[in-house]
Structures are given as structure tokens and as C-alpha cells.
């Protein structure tokens, strides 16, 4: 793995689950930190940069959706992935509408978890790069190409 | 006079006298003396004429003259003057006593005291007069001899206007001629009876108004011939009351006959007296067929006869009402479940005369309740399942994830095998949970015009590999140009997947899967047939029940067909199954065509092809 991977924050009130996600992603070479709830997560985010937050939807204290809202308000460029128990697809869909990057249904296979998380990280990094380029006054063409990469489509001029 | 005759003469209760043709009394008996109050000596000095009051003297003389002339005896009634100046009614039979030459030598008179008879007659008159009924007496010619006050009031005539007139004047003209004939017939074969049996009788008042009446006829034999004493009752009031009652009865009848409830009326022995239309419809028996039969002989199933009898007994012995539920056997043998409300009707002494049972056929209701209970159970289950899913989702994820994590890190084959088992088992649980949840959380379907043929094709496509693997051939009989059905596409695909999976499972050794689609009136009929092992009759009724499965543990959730049935019924359709063991099974689905809808909305395929 290269250092272009941004850091991941795993939020779940279930310690075992938290550690599993941590271990699986860590094995893939990601930089992973964990939090046992929404408040703790926000505290961590205030201290360190992070590309993606993977959070459980139903937790004691702050709910996953509340955390999502807070992150969007404070750090709009961080991708948020919600984990839901099966049977609560409606909640997940609702979360997607409110701006979550993706959702995972428990039980999720490690492979699927990794795939989704890495895709979201990639999107987030690209988006960040676009903003950075734009801030630096980079020409439109480069910008379009980067955007197309996010969308996963080849640029028409290429 | 010989001694014997003298004794007889003296002992007679009737007064007997013998007088000379001029009336001079020659011989009287004791009874004569008792009758008149004169002693025998006094009488022997009197003329028979002296005993007759002035007003009757002429009549007496006429009769005596006639008797002397013709020699025929005559009976007549006059008053006699008594010694005390009072008068006594008497009946006199006078005849001439003839000498050897045939000439009358004297007059003999047998005189009977009529005071008792007159008193009886007076009593009779008073009885008649005081009768609450109108009474009138007529003779054989129909002439009115006597009426009482009630007759005057009933008919509006004065007594004098009636006596001596023909009784037909009181009969309406339209039946007057009948009446005269009937009257003659009555005199010919007279016995006490009600008049005009079986038909309505009418009288007519002086003012011409007619009124209904009832007449009792009594023949009275008198020395002057037969008389008929008629007792007349005005029944206008009763007729009016009858009409009111009849109206009430008609009303009750109408209510009973149109009521949806079953109404049975039983006598105190349990015999059927009344059986309304709802009863006829429910049981298939007509009212005539059941009338007078015991209710438990006809309708009650053997197991319940004792119960019904004891309910009946309790009602009869004073329980004012009761509720009861039982089965009635209809004529065709079918059982109907009836919920009864029983009550009793008592006579004025409080004795139970009738038992009235009003019942509702709750057979269908019970089935609906059963269905509802099932649905509620399923809904409960759904809530439970989704709650449970939340709780077990995380631990299952941990097990699955950890196993996968370890599987990746180990090179130990035994370990790998064990971990793989853990993974597949968790996946199996996940699958069951997902199906259960899908079933429990049926979302509101999104309906639009759907081409069923396309759905069939799409569904089959998903199974191509599996079908080929199982050496199953597919046959399609899809009618061209079928109108669309208004349905939820995803749900219908789910239906087909479930049915096709079942068919594939039913043919482990291969076979033929046939899908047919045809229009039947206002319905589209979809058939899914296999040539598999079939479904035994014993379990055919259960296959749509939740959690019923014939598959090995873990292979089926027992929800597939429940989901299918639920979806089809949500679409207003029906699903039925035909099956022959070892020959195969066919599921038939009928979905309503919404022609208005399909005309208004074109198929998505039709628009996309442009």
C-alpha cells in the first residue's frame, strides 16, 4: 500500500466488531484508528486527519446518522460509510440520501468491506486533490480529467 | 160417577169443571177450587162466565159457541178472575159432552194454571233482554217475533219497527236471497250452531251501513211451531283488532324473512315451528321439510346433540336467554358454524311456550379470523425478526469476518477446512434471516403496467446455469400480444424465482419445466409445471403456510411459497396448485388484467422500442 491511502476511522460500540474491521483493514496496509462511539469519533477527528469514517448505524449514545450529519457539517471532505444490520436497508438508503458515501450490511464479508472502503477512500482522495488543484488554479483540462477519474469514466478527450 | 173416576177427578192437578151449555157450573174438582180461591160450594152457585174478566168474555163466548156447534175441542188462553180479585193466566181446553142423541148436554173444561209458564217466559224474556249479545227470535216464515235492546242498538231500529217484519231486512241485499234459502235449510235440519260457518257475515243498519257480525242459532220448539233464537255479536272491533294483529304479523314475517340472521322458533319439546329464509338458505332445507321435526334430529351433529339438548333444557326450565355456538349440518352434508342467541317466550303464567334462537353463520368469519390470526402472527414474527437481525448482525459479522481473517493467515489445511465450515454456516444463517426479513418487511408494491412474458424470460435467464446443470429442459408456451398486468415487477420476479427454484428442487434427476402464459377473460393465467416428485395431498393444503418446508434442514426457509401467495393476493390474484405424486406439480397463478389501466398506459417496452 502506498501512503496515498488516507487514514480510516472505525466507529462501533461493539469492541469485537471494531477490532475485526480494524484488523482486516490494517492487514491491507491502511492506517486505522477506532472509536467506541460518536462523541469519541468526533474528538479523534478534531485531532487527526482522516479520509473515511466507517461507522455503525445503531449505537448507544450518538447514532450513526447523527455522526454522519456532524461530520458533513465539520469535515465535508471526509467520506462516511454506514454499517447496518440486515433488514435495515431503508435506514441505509436514507443515510445515502443524506450524503453517506456508501453502506455495508452486517454481516459483511471482509472482501466486500475492503472493496467498499477502498473505493470510498479513492473517491475522497481524488475529490480532495481536485479541490487542492482548483485552489492552486490548475487548468480546466486537468480538473476535468481528475473529475472523470472520480466518476470512473474516461475523459472524452482522452 | 163411579168411585174410581171420582178419585181420579179429584186427584188431578189440572182444574176440571163440568158446566151446563149455558155455563152454569155443575161439577168442579179440588184443583179448580185451589186455582180460583172459591170453595166448591161457591163455585156450584156460579156460571163459568163469572170467572172470565170483562175483556175476555166475548172471546170466551165465541169459543164456547163454536165448541157447542162443532163438537171439536178448543184450547185457548185467557186470564181467570180469582176470588181475591186478582187474575191468573190459564190455558183452557174446552169440549162438549154429548148425550146419547149426540146433542151436547154440557161443557167440560180442563184448565191449567199458566202462571209458572208465564213466569218462565218472563224470565226468558228478561234473560234475552239482559244479554250482552243482540238476540232475536224468528219463526219459520222469517218473521221477527222478539228482539232485545242490543238488537235495537246494533241495527238502529226501534223494537216496534222490527217485530213482525222479515228478518231479511237486517241482511245486506247482496246476500239477502241467500239468507232466505239458508234459513229454510236451517229449519229443515235444525240444531244449535254458528251461522255461516267459514264465511264472513254482515248485518245492515237502518242507515244502510253494513257491519261484520257473528251469529249463533238455537232452534226452539214451541207448541206454535219452531222458532229460532239468534244471538248476534258485532265483531267490528274484533275484525279491526285482527287486522291490526295481521298487520303486525305481516311485519314480523317480513322482518324475519328478510333478516340475514337465522331465526328458528321451537315449541317446548324442541320441534320446529318457524324456520326463516336465512335458515333455508344456510341449510338447504325448505321450511315445509323441517316443520314439526326435532331440531337435533335434523341439524345437530352427533357429538353436539347432548350439548344442544342441555342448553334447550336450561332454557325451558327458566334460563331467560343464552348464547351458544355449534355446527349445523346442511342438507348437502356441509357443516356451518353458527353462533346462536337464544331466548324464550312465556305464557301469562310464566311457563315457557317457545324457544327462539337467532343465529349467525360464522363459518366464513371464523376462517377470516383464522387468516387474520395467522397474518398477525407473521407480522409479529417480522417485527421479531428485524429486531433480532439488529442484535445478531454484529456478532455474526464478527464470526464471519474473524473466520475469513484467519483463513487468509493460516496454511494449516485442517484449520482452513474448519474455518470454511464456519463461514458457510454463517452465510446460511444470513440467507435464512434475509428471506425472513424480506417476507416480514414487505414494502408497499410499486405497480405499473408489466409485461409478464418479459418477467418469465428474465427469471428463466437467472436460472439458465442451474437448469442446465440439473438436466432440465425448458418449455415455454407464451401467448403473444398479451395485455400488461398492473403489478410490481420485482415482486413478480420474486414469485417466479421461488416457483422455478421449487420446480428445480422437485426434479433432482432432471425433467421438464414448463412455463405457460395465457389470457383467460379478465385474467392472465401463468402456469409453472414440473415433472418432479409431486406434492402429496396430505401436505398440499399446508404448502403456503409459513415455515412449512419439505426440504432438508437448512435448504429451505419454509417461507418461499408463503411469500409467493402473499404477493399474488396483494395483486388481487389467486394461486392454486395441482399435483400428482411422481408425475409433477403445476402452480397456477391468475392475475387480474386492468384493461382500463393498460389502455391508458403503454408498456415500457413499447416506449423503449421507439
| Residue of higher predicted confidence among B400 and B438 | B400
Mutate to test the interface with B, among A15, A20, A24 (most CBs of B within 10 A): A20
| A79 domain residue, yes or no | yes
For B240-361, CATH number out of 3.40.50.1240, 3.40.50.970, 3.50.30.40, 3.30.450.20 equals 3.30.450.20
Of the candidates B185, B142, B182, the one whose C-alpha atom is nearest the C-alpha of residue B164 is B142
Give the ipTM of the model, two decimals please: 0.79
Strand partners, B228: B138, B219
What's the whole-number mean pLDDT along residues A21-28?
94
The x, y and z cell numbers of residue A107, run together, are 454481516
Q: How far is CA B499 from the centre of its chain?
A: 53
What's the whole-number mean pLDDT along residues A2-26?
87
Share of chain B above pLDDT 90, in %: 30
Confidence class for position B608, pLDDT limits 50, 70, 90: very low
Instruction: Report the range of poorest mean pLDDT among B420-429, B432-441, B457-466.
Output: B432-441
**Which residues does chain A have within 8 Å of residue B395's beta carbon, measured at their own beta carbons?**
14, 16
State the CATH class of domain B448-608. alpha beta
What's the whole-number mean pLDDT along residues A27-46?
94
User: What pLDDT was estimated at residue A4?
Assistant: 57
User: What pLDDT was estimated at residue B68?
Assistant: 87
Confidence class for position B551, pLDDT limits 50, 70, 90: low
pLDDT(B442) > 70:
no
Closest-CA residue of chain A to B443? A90
pLDDT(B114) > 60:
yes
| Residue of higher predicted confidence among B380 and B583 | B583
CA distance B575 to B589: 4
The CATH homologous superfamily for domain B3-113 is PAS domain (3.30.450.20)
Q: What is the pLDDT of residues B268-296, one digit of tens each?
A: 899 999 999 999 999 999 999 999 999 99
**Which residues does chain B have within 8 Å of residue A106's beta carbon, measured at their own beta carbons?**
393-394, 396-397
Q: Please indicate if any CB of chain B lies within 8 Å of the CB of A66.
A: no
**Which residues does chain B have within 8 Å of residue A88's beta carbon, measured at their own beta carbons?**
386, 389-390
Which helix (H) or strand (E) element contains residue B458?
A: helix B452-469
Q: Which of A39-55 are b and which e, b meaning 16 or more Cβ less than 10 Å from the residue's Cβ?
A: ebbbebbeeeebbbbbb
| Residue of higher predicted confidence among B548 and B347 | B347
Do B118-234 and B448-608 fold alike per CATH? no
Mutate to test the interface with B, among A94, A107, A112 (most CBs of B within 10 A): A107
pLDDT(B454) > 50:
yes
Q: What is the pLDDT of residues B365-415, one digit of tens each?
A: 777 777 767 666 666 666 677 677 777 888 889 999 999 999 999 999 999
Q: How far is B309 from chain A (nearest CA, A)?
A: 56
Q: How far is A107 from chain B (nearest CA, A)?
A: 4
Q: Is B327 within 8 Å of B307 (Cβ atoms)? A: no
Share of chain B above pLDDT 70, in %: 90
Could you tell me the CA-to-CA distances from B193 to A84, B190, B213, B221, B230 in Å, in that order? 101, 9, 15, 16, 10
List the single residue in B391, B408, B426 with the smallest CB-CB distance to A107. B426
Flag if B386 and A87 touch (Cβ within 8 Å): yes
User: What pLDDT was estimated at residue B597?
Assistant: 47
pLDDT(B235) > 70:
yes
What's the whole-number mean pLDDT along residues A138-143?
73
User: What pLDDT was estimated at residue A3?
Assistant: 45
Q: What is the pLDDT of residues B309-331, one digit of tens each?
A: 999 999 988 888 889 888 999 98
pLDDT(A17) > 60:
yes
User: What pLDDT was estimated at residue B434?
Assistant: 74
Q: What is the 8-class DSSP label of residue B519?
A: E
Flag if A87 and B437 touch (Cβ within 8 Å): yes
Q: Please indicate if any CB of chain B lies within 8 Å of the CB of A145.
A: no
**Which residues does chain A have within 8 Å of residue B382's beta carbon, measured at their own beta carbons?**
none
Q: What is the pLDDT of residues B481-520, one digit of tens each?
A: 888 888 888 788 878 888 888 888 888 888 999 999 988 8
Range of the domain at A94: 8-122
Q: How far is B381 from chain A (nearest CA, A)?
A: 13
**Which residues does chain A have within 8 Å of residue B401's beta carbon, measured at their own beta carbons?**
17, 20-21, 24, 107-110, 113
User: What pLDDT was estimated at residue B265?
Assistant: 92
Closest-CA residue of chain B to A19? B398
What residues of chain B have any CB closer than 8 angstroms to a CB in chain A? 385-386, 389-402, 404-405, 408, 426, 430, 433-434, 437, 441
Flag if A23 and B437 touch (Cβ within 8 Å): no
pLDDT(B553) > 50:
no
Strand partners, B93: B75, B110
CA distance B316 to B310: 10
Closest-CA residue of chain B to A59? B390
In chain B, what are the domain boundaries?
Answer: 3-113, 118-234, 240-361, 366-440, 448-608
Q: How many CA atoms lie within 13 A of A65 on its CB side?
A: 12
Flag if A20 and B390 touch (Cβ within 8 Å): no
3-state SS of B11-40 is HCCCEEEEECCCCEEEEECHHHHHHHCCCH
Q: Quote the number of domains for chain A.
A: 1
| Residue of higher predicted confidence among B3 and A18 | A18
| Residue of higher predicted confidence among A23 and B502 | A23
Q: How far is A121 from chain B (nearest CA, A)?
A: 21
Mutate to test the interface with B, among A106, A108, A111 (most CBs of B within 10 A): A106
Residue A74: CATH number of its domain: 3.40.50.2300
Mean pLDDT taken over chain B: 84
pLDDT(B554) > 90:
no
Q: How far is CA A108 from the centre of its chain?
A: 16
| A45 domain residue, yes or no | yes
For B118-234, CATH number out of 3.20.20.70, 3.30.450.20, 2.70.180.20, 3.50.50.60 equals 3.30.450.20
Confidence class for position A117, pLDDT limits 50, 70, 90: very high
User: What pLDDT was estimated at residue A89?
Assistant: 60
User: What pLDDT was estimated at residue B263?
Assistant: 92
Flag if A87 and B399 touch (Cβ within 8 Å): no
Flag if A87 and B401 touch (Cβ within 8 Å): no
Q: How far is B385 from chain A (nearest CA, A)?
A: 9
Q: What is the pLDDT of residues B51-76, one digit of tens each?
A: 999 988 999 999 999 998 888 899 99
Alpha helices in A59-109 (DSSP H): 64-74, 89-97
Q: Please indicate if any CB of chain B lies within 8 Å of the CB of A127.
A: no
CA distance A94 to A112: 21
Amino acid at each position: 500500500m502506498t501512503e496515498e491511502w488516507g487514514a480510516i476511522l472505525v466507529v462501533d460500540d461493539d469492541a469485537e466488531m471494531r477490532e475485526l474491521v480494524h484488523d482486516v483493514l490494517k492487514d491491507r496496509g491502511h492506517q486505522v484508528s477506532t472509536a467506541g462511539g460518536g462523541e469519541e469519533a468526533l474528538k479523534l477527528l478534531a485531532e487527526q486527519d482522516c479520509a473515511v469514517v466507517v461507522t455503525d448505524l445503531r449505537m448507544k449514545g450518538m447514532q450513526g446518522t447523527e455522526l454522519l450529519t456532524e461530520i458533513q457539517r465539520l469535515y465535508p471532505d471526509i467520506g462516511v460509510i454506514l454499517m447496518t444490520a440486515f433488514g435495515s436497508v431503508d435506514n441505509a438508503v436514507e443515510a445515502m440520501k443524506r450524503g453517506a458515501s456508501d453502506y455495508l450490511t452486517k454481516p459483511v464479508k471482509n472482501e466486500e468491506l475492503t472493496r467498499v472502503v477502498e473505493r470510498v477512500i479513492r473517491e475522497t482522495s481524488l475529490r480532495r486533490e481536485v479541490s487542492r488543484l482548483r485552489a492552486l488554479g490548475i487548468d480546466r483540462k486537468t480538473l476535468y480529467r481528475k473529475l472523470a477519474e472520480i466518476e470512473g469514466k474516461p475523459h472524452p478527450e482522452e | 160417577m163411579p168411585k174410581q173416576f171420582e178419585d181420579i177427578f179429584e186427584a188431578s192437578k189440572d182444574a176440571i169443571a163440568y158446566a151446563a151449555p149455558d155455563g152454569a157450573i155443575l161439577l168442579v174438582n179440588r184443583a179448580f177450587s185451589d186455582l180460583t180461591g172459591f170453595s166448591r160450594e161457591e163455585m156450584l152457585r156460579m156460571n163459568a162466565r163469572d170467572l172470565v174478566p170483562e175483556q175476555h168474555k166475548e172471546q170466551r163466548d165465541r169459543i164456547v159457541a163454536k165448541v157447542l156447534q162443532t163438537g171439536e175441542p178448543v184450547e185457548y188462553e185467557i186470564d181467570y178472575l180469582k176470588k181475591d180479585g186478582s187474575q191468573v193466566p190459564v190455558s183452557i181446553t174446552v169440549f162438549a159432552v154429548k148425550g146419547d142423541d149426540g146433542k151436547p148436554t154440557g161443557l167440560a173444561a180442563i184448565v191449567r194454571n199458566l202462571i209458572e209458564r208465564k213466569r218462565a217466559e218472563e224470565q226468558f224474556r228478561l234473560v234475552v233482554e239482559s244479554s250482552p249479545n243482540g238476540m232475536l227470535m224468528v219463526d219459520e216464515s222469517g218473521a221477527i217475533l222478539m228482539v232485545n235492546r242490543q238488537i235495537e242498538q246494533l241495527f238502529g231500529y226501534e223494537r216496534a219497527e222490527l217485530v213482525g217484519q222479515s228478518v231479511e231486512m237486517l241482511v245486506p241485499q247482496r246476500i239477502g236471497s241467500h239468507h232466505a234459502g239458508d234459513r229454510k235449510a236451517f229449519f229443515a235440519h235444525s240444531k244449535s250452531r254458528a251461522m255461516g260457518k267459514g264465511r264472513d257475515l254482515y248485518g245492515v243498519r237502518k242507515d244502510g251501513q253494513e257491519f261484520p257480525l257473528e251469529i249463533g242459532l238455537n232452534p226452539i220448539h214451541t207448541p206454535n211451531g219452531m222458532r229460532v233464537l239468534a244471538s248476534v255479536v258485532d265483531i267490528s272491533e274484533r275484525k279491526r283488532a285482527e287486522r291490526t294483529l295481521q298487520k303486525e304479523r305481516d311485519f314480523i314475517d317480513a322482518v324475519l324473512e328478510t333478516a340475514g340472521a337465522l331465526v328458528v322458533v321451537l315449541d317446548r319439546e324442541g320441534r320446529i315451528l318457524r324456520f326463516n329464509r336465512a335458515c333455508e338458505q344456510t341449510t338447504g332445507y325448505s321450511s315445509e321439510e323441517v316443520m314439526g321435526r326435532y331440531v337435533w334430529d335434523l341439524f345437530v351433529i352427533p357429538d353436539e346433540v347432548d350439548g344442544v339438548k342441555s342448553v334447550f333444557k336450561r332454557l325451558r326450565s327458566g334460563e331467560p336467554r343464552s348464547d351458544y355456538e355449534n355446527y349445523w349440518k346442511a342438507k348437502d352434508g356441509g357443516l356451518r358454524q353458527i353462533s346462536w342467541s337464544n331466548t324464550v317466550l312465556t305464557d301469562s303464567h310464566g311457563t315457557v311456550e317457545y324457544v327462539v334462537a337467532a343465529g349467525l353463520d360464522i363459518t366464513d368469519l371464523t376462517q377470516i379470523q383464522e387468516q387474520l390470526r395467522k397474518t398477525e402472527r407473521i407480522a409479529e414474527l417480522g417485527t421479531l425478526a428485524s429486531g433480532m437481525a439488529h442484535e445478531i448482525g454484529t456478532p455474526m459479522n464478527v464470526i464471519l469476518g474473524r473466520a475469513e481473517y484467519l483463513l487468509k493467515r493460516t496454511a494449516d489445511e485442517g484449520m482452513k477446512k474448519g474455518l470454511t465450515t464456519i463461514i458457510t454456516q454463517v452465510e446460511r444463517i444470513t440467507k435464512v434471516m434475509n428471506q425472513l426479513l424480506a417476507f416480514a418487511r414487505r414494502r408497499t408494491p410499486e405497480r405499473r403496467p408489466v409485461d409478464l412474458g418479459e418477467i418469465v424470460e428474465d427469471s428463466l435467464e437467472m436460472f439458465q446455469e442451474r437448469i442446465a446443470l440439473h438436466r432440465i429442459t425448458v418449455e415455454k408456451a407464451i401467448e403473444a400480444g398479451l395485455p400488461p398486468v398492473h403489478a410490481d415487477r420485482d415482486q413478480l420476479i420474486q414469485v417466479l424465482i421461488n416457483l422455478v427454484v421449487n420446480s428445480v428442487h422437485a426434479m433432482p434427476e432432471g425433467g421438464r419445466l414448463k412455463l405457460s402464459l395465457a389470457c383467460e377473460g379478465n385474467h392472465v393465467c401463468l402456469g409453472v409445471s414440473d415433472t418432479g416428485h409431486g406434492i402429496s395431498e396430505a401436505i398440499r393444503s399446508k404448502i403456503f403456510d409459513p415455515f412449512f418446508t419439505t426440504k432438508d434442514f437448512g435448504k429451505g426457509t419454509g417461507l418461499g411459497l408463503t411469500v409467493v401467495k402473499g404477493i399474488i393476493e396483494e395483486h388481487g390474484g389467486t394461486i392454486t396448485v395441482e399435483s400428482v405424486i411422481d408425475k409433477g406439480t403445476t402452480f397456477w397463478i391468475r392475475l387480474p388484467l386492468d384493461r382500463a389501466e393498460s389502455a391508458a398506459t403503454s408498456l415500457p417496452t413499447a416506449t423503449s422500442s421507439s
